[in-house]
Amino acid sequence: MKSTYEECLQACRECLEACNVCFDSCLKEDDVKMMVDCIRLDRECADACGYAIQAMTRNSPFVKEICEICATICERCADECGKHDHDHCKRCAEACRKCAEACRNMVA
């Protein structure tokens, strides 16, 4: 069974990837005007996950605080991506929700 730490690390890696794939895909969409909040939040969320991954793996004294902010950002990104029907948005929303939950478990 995976530990809370391993679950969270894995979720952050998958969320970072899903957000960046969504960022890249949104920029290629015809209706890019509709995707601007998604583009912005994808970048926010990929950076937050990257920051959390670095913090967790180096045994940072601030893992809880960093995972908490990561969870907040993931939730906001999931809400935004969840509004769109593009496959990359749906996959991103799911990865963000899973990551938010894993980060909340790290904080608990």
Residues that bind a second copy (CB under 8 A): 9, 13, 16-17, 20-21, 23-24, 27-28, 32-33, 36, 39-41, 43-44, 46-48, 50-51, 53-55, 57-62, 65-66, 69, 72-73, 76
Is 53 or 78 the residue whose CB approaches a second copy more closely? 53
3-state SS track over 14-34 = HHHHHHHHHHHHHHHCCCHHH
Q: What is the CA radius of gyration of the chain?
A: 13
The Cα 79–Cα 39 span in angstroms is: 13
Is 61 or 85 the residue whose CB approaches a second copy more closely? 61
